[in-house]
Amino acid sequence: MLANEVKDRIQSAYRQLLESRNLTPRYGQRQMIAEIANGLAVLANDEEVDSPICVVEAGTGTGKTLAYLLAVLPLAQKHDYKVVVATATVALQEQVIFKDIPEILESSDLNFSVALAKGRGRYLCLSKLDMLLAGSDSLQAMMDLYGEELEDSNSGDIALYEDMLNELGAGNWQGDRDDWKVPITDANWWPLTADRYQCTGPNCSNFRNCCFYKARDSLDKVDCIVSNHDLVLTDLAMGGGAILPEPEKCIYIFDEAHHLPFKSNNHFSASTRINASLAWLDRCENLLAQLAKEEFVDTDRQEQLQKIIDAIREHSAAAWTMFEQTVESLESIDTYENRLQHAFELGVVPVEIRSVAANLGTEFTRLATGLQDIAAELRQIMDDGVNPDKTRLAEQWYAILGTNTDRAEANLELWLSYSREDPKDAAPSARWISVIKSEGSLDIALSSSPVLAAENLQERLWQSCAGAVLTSATLSALGEFNMLRMRAGLPEHTHYLSIPSPFDFSGSASLVVPRMNCDPSDTEQHTALIVKAIPQLLDASSAALMLFSSRRQMNEVMQSLPKEWFDLILCQDDYQKLQLLRYHRQRVDRGEGSIIFGLASFAEGVDLPGKYCTHVLIAKIPFAVPNDPIEMTLSAWIEKKGQNAFMTLAVPDAAFRLVQASGRLLRSETDSGRITLFDERIINRRYGKAILESMPPYRREIFEEQLSLQDV
């Protein structure tokens, strides 16, 4: 039961916001506030209860950011919890921190503190800055060890670094990359950062003034932390409480929550390249020689680690031969992301490969342990601080050692995954190999990934957090939350709610499916029909978004259109996303036509309200890429369990994607326009009808237009 005090604070703040901004109450927004607040109310109980989890699908126009902040903050403050808002994109993160939260603070009597949480990579490392400005021979020797990670150790802009040092000293800058006076290139920024393996923490001579730790300490003093999915998952992978406050003290709000399972899989995946790793081992040998020269490693240990490296080389050669034979023995090999690949069925690798993987896992365990032991000794030297010169040198070598330890542990994770069998009743890990050709060289990449995030999220998040809210405009598929429940491993007690958008879909937009007499599987004819349709449906003044599921088809349509259309089209492959969207808006503002050609990344998170987009064209129902190794393995597992993978996975996922893609049209209550889908399967296939019924209630125009190749 929600305490009256908390309920009154929420209601009062909401009323004040509406009055101060002259807004009309939205039923869906009020419903969302009430459901979240009541769902989390069990946190007030003294007895132990399962962490409350609320899933709220809130259609575009609901005002979900305001709703979840108002619902959670008063409750969290009352019971001394931190609120962690995690978004999937930088754009939404900036909207929350710079627009939504200031509006609440300005327009209501809610009083709370807020901070923006970023990873180490966004903050300058003072020790790295000192080393770069010192420019010593010792530093140069260290930087040379980075090899492929640093193409040119002299590429940094020393004048820029000196300016940074001056701004830090004057208190005008806090070491945050995003707050620097002008954008900083990756080449200039990368040498200034340290990851967790390179950072010496309290042992660092600059620890008291560390930009990252100062920002980290501030997180313990605020009520609300605005972060992102990746940083939350990184913190959870490190055990929780390493970057953000401890999970048991936090109520997490995951906005754009449909991304969470996929981002989780990425965080708990592993990969390596055999030849690239062998080249790295050469640099690792060089590192050990340098450490021995500086008397940080004795001769016996150097020889011991050298034997381990030699053993890794021997086993890697055996692995290369096996994988090369595997590729050569295949009658056909898939192509994915422009790479030749082979996914092992159900993630099961042959016994002989598991054997050599076990050997490599053993040797990489020994190597990683050896490097960790050296790191511990360097930390001890820094702790003792007896010899200032030795201490400073230990600190510098520690960063280089950390990079190599990270690489050894990454290889260890991969080989351990390839050496073990998955539990019989659990979802398997996907395991696949890729052939990489580059400038005449050849390498074999090995990858492993969970196919479901369920186990990791259950163990690290749902069972450890104080509570959580998952929200997005689209979370269900075919009217059910089964996909999200399966992929994210949401507990049985999770509460689900779907709030429809307040938009007048039937009055504002039409969904048009032209008669094509063509299945998209006939790629040549389907592409030709789209080429013919575009000049009929659009003109030189149109503001439109054309979405493709295939890069090949997008390029073929582009190349086949009459030349006068080239100047109208902004193609995803030609520009960065933000740059392309800016060019599009500028054209429309000048009264010119502009047509965006994009792939899946333009089917969500693209906000082109009003005049900027009045027509969304979709090449076909957006089924997932069939040879994605993770989805292939998951589908095979679903089939093994006796279910139909197409109906269980592919159709709900396609329905979800189509709702997102069509949602690019109506971004506000005053928007209007048309959605054209060049795919008759949504009408003449049983699964297509199910997808159609799951879409918003657009006004439908089915087969009222005819496309033909007779005059093409």
Q: Are residues 354 and 433 in the same domain?
A: yes
3-state SS class at 463: coil
Identity at 470, one-letter amino acid code: L
3-state SS class at 427: coil
Q: Are residues 515 and 481 in the same domain?
A: no
Choice between 144 and 443, residue whose per-residue pLDDT is larger: 443
pLDDT at 203: 82
User: Domain containing 523 — which CATH number?
Assistant: 3.40.50.300
Q: Are residues 140 and 260 in the same domain?
A: no
Which of 107-121, 357-371, 668-682 is the least confident region? 107-121
Per the prediction, the chain carries an average pLDDT of: 91
Q: Are residues 351 and 409 in the same domain?
A: yes
Q: Are residues 403 and 329 in the same domain?
A: yes
Contact in structure between 342 and 629 (CB atoms under 8 Å):
no
**Per-residue CA distances from 354 to 130, 308, 443 (Å):** 46, 19, 20
pLDDT in tens, 153-203: 445 688 999 999 999 999 999 999 989 999 999 889 988 998 888 888 888
Helix (H) or strand (E) holding 514: strand 509-515
118 within some domain: no
pLDDT at 148 over 60: no
Contact in structure between 618 and 662 (CB atoms under 8 Å):
yes
pLDDT in tens, 4-25: 899 999 999 999 999 998 888 8
Mean pLDDT value across residues 536-547: 96
pLDDT at 515: 96
pLDDT at 388: 86
User: Where does residue 146 fall: left (phi above 0), alpha (psi -120 to 50 degrees), or beta otherwise?
Assistant: alpha
pLDDT in tens, 334-372: 666 567 889 999 999 999 999 999 999 999 999 999 999
**DSSP codes, 515-550:** E----TTSHHHHHHHHHHHHHHH--TT-EEEEE-S-
Question: Rounded CA gap, 229 and 266, in Å?
Answer: 11
pLDDT band at 652 (very low <50, low <70, confident <90, very high): very high
637 within some domain: yes
pLDDT at 336: 62
Choice between 460 and 2, residue whose per-residue pLDDT is larger: 460
pLDDT at 146: 45
Which of 36-45, 56-65, 306-315, 443-452 is the least confident region? 36-45
Mean pLDDT value across residues 449-469: 96
pLDDT band at 226 (very low <50, low <70, confident <90, very high): very high
pLDDT at 451: 97
pLDDT at 387: 87
pLDDT in tens, 584-619: 999 999 999 999 999 999 999 899 999 999 999 999
pLDDT band at 712 (very low <50, low <70, confident <90, very high): very low
636 within some domain: yes
Q: Are residues 387 and 304 in the same domain?
A: yes
215 within some domain: no
Total domains in the chain come to: 4
Q: Would you tell me how many other CB atoms lie within 10 Å of the CB of residue 25?
A: 9
Mean pLDDT value across residues 291-313: 95
712 within some domain: no
- Its domain, for residue 465, covers 4-113+222-264+453-499
Q: Are residues 574 and 683 in the same domain?
A: yes
Question: Rounded CA gap, 419 and 510, in Å?
Answer: 54
pLDDT at 119: 87
N- to C-terminal Cα separation, the chain:
67
Contact in structure between 663 and 650 (CB atoms under 8 Å):
no
pLDDT at 599: 96
Q: Are residues 181 and 237 in the same domain?
A: no
Question: Rounded CA gap, 54 and 51, in Å?
Answer: 10
pLDDT at 131: 80
Q: Are residues 481 and 515 in the same domain?
A: no
Helices marked H in 420-518 = 454-457, 482-488, 505-508
pLDDT at 149 over 50: no
Instruction: Give which of 327, 328, 318, 330 is closest to 354, Cα–Cα.
Output: 318
Q: Are residues 102 and 161 in the same domain?
A: no
Q: Are residues 523 and 416 in the same domain?
A: no
pLDDT at 389: 86
18 within some domain: yes
Query: How many helices and strands, by DSSP H and E, does the chain display?
Result: 27, 19
349 within some domain: yes
At residue 596, what are phi and psi to the nearest 5 degrees?
-95, 130
pLDDT in tens, 47-76: 677 899 999 999 999 999 999 999 999 999
Which of 31-45, 63-77, 663-677 is the least confident region? 31-45
At residue 556, what are phi and psi to the nearest 5 degrees?
-70, -40
What pTM value is reported for the model?
0.91
pLDDT band at 109 (very low <50, low <70, confident <90, very high): very high
pLDDT band at 437 (very low <50, low <70, confident <90, very high): confident
pLDDT at 3: 84
